[in-house]
Amino acid sequence: MRKALFALLFLAFCPFLAAQQSLNNDAVIKLVKAGLSEDLIVSTVSASPGTYDTSADGLIALKAAGVSDKVVSAIVAKASAPIAVPAVLVAPPPPTANPDDPASAHEAGIYAYSDKSAGPRMNMLEPSVYGQGKTGGIFASAMTYGIAKAKVKAVLRGAHSNARVTDPQTVFYFYFEQQTAGLSNASSIFGGTSTPNEYTLLRFDVKDTTRETTIGKFNAYGASSGNDDKATVPFTYTKLGPGVYKVTVSAALKPGEYGFVAPGVMAVVTPYGGSAGSSGRVFDFGVN
């Protein structure tokens, strides 16, 4: 009766004892000498952590102490079982940025965005520079004794831009490296740009091998510089985040050649000696 009661108490406290210390050869021998049944000891060995000596000398010592073959087999099986290694939680890899998603990070620049049946596409506009200056209307000005104005034109090489869009209401996205307006740059024409408000969208006149736009006028009585109002295309913009803007043209674009003119493109105009100089860039594109 006392032996059965002891067995019940042992079973009740076995998980607590196992948590406190692991079993070994000596602990098993003590259980055997305490009179616990063979099945109970086997269950304890199987369910509890333990460090056992299963060498030839260790097994002989167990047998000499009266440990049955069944218990010894349980000890050998427990000692040879692989140690459970806790699973290591590995963070999932970050999602791959979608180059056609305006919300994804993009290289600084201007992108034309279209969302047609083929799916969303973001096309980066590569910048060009004015390759030369061109003066027109000199003969007319001379024939009118300097009353008629001559025009100074900026010229882009090639009759068509490599960047093409098919949607006349294409949306554009500006991604700036410099993400704040920065009053420190406001006093310098060489300050970095940080908003589409500093750009002008122009439509170019297409010639055989060039694209042209008027950037100044002069006559005998004076000179002026600046973009031709008739070539200027109005647009609106919305700030989406630091340095990121969505630009929408105010009206559908007609087929032709266009470009966002960066600030700093300046025309040097003098009466009867007009010339065009460039210190900025044009992000050009064509509408099919």
DSSP tag of 118: T
**Residue with more model confidence, 155 or 13:** 155
What is the 3-class SS of 19-43, one letter each residue? HHCCECHHHHHHHHHCCCCHHHHHH
Q: Is residue 53 part of a domain?
A: yes
Last residue of one domain, picked from the residues 80, 96, 121: 80
Q: What are phi and psi of 97, to 5 degrees?
A: -65, 135
Lowest mean pLDDT among 32-36, 95-99, 223-227, 252-256: 223-227
Measured CA angle at 251 (ends 262, 170), to 5 deg: 65
Lowest mean pLDDT among 7-11, 29-33, 93-97, 125-129: 7-11
Helix (H, G, I), strand (E, B) or coil at 6: helix
- Distances in Å between the Cα of 60 and the Cα atoms of 65, 181, 205, 219 are 9, 85, 103, 118
Residue 203 lies in a domain: yes
Q: Do 125 and 264 sit in the same domain of this protein?
A: yes
The DSSP annotation for 33-81 comes to HTT--HHHHHHHHHHS-B----SHHHHHHHHHTT--HHHHHHHHHHHHS
Maximum separation of any 2 CA atoms in the chain, in Å? 134
Q: Mention every residue, 6+ apart, whose C-beta is less than 8 A from residue 64.
A: none
User: Which one of 35, 65, 80 terminates a domain?
Assistant: 80
Q: Are residues 279 and 149 in the same domain?
A: yes
Model pTM score = 0.57
% of the chain at pLDDT higher than 70: 68
Using DSSP bridges, classify how beta strands 164-165 and 127-128 pair: parallel, antiparallel or unpaired.
unpaired
**Residue from 239, 58, 268 nearest 154 by CA:** 268
**d(Cα 186, Cα 181) in Å, to the nearest integer?**
8
DSSP per-residue letters across 162-216? S-EE--TT-EEEEE-SS-S--GGGTT-TTSPP-SGGG-EEEEEEE-SSEEEEEEE
Residue 91 domain-assigned?
A: no
Residues 184 and 240 in one domain: yes
More confident residue, 40 or 273: 40
208 and 132 assigned to the same domain: yes
Q: Within this chain, do residues 136 and 255 fall inside the same structural domain, yes or no?
A: yes
42, 76 contact by CB (below 8 A) = no
Say which amino acid occupies 159.
Answer: A
Within-domain flag for 102 = no
Residues 37, 119, single domain; the answer is: no
Residues 6+ apart with CB under 8 A from 71: 28, 32, 38, 41, 42, 45, 62
pLDDT of residue 251: 94
**Number of folded domains that form the chain:** 2
User: For residue 100, is it within any domain?
Assistant: no
Average pLDDT over residues 118-141: 68
pLDDT value, residue 20: 47
Tell me: do 213 and 117 sit in the same domain.
yes
The answer to which of 5-9, 142-146, 164-168, 229-233 has the lowest mean pLDDT is 142-146
The boundaries of the domain holding residue 224 are 109-287
Residue 67 forms part of a structural domain: yes
- 89 occurs within a structural domain: no
Asked if residues 22 and 48 have their Cβ atoms less than 8 Å apart, the reply is yes
Domain boundary among 64, 80, 96: 80
pLDDT at 26: 92
- 24 and 126 together in one domain: no
Span 160-178, mean pLDDT? 91
| pLDDT for position 155 | 86
Is residue 98 domain-resident? no
Averaged pLDDT for residues 222-229: 62
DSSP 160: S
User: Are 170 and 29 contained in the same domain?
Assistant: no
What's the CA gap between 54 and 61, in Å, rounded? 10
Query: Are 64 and 121 members of one domain?
Result: no
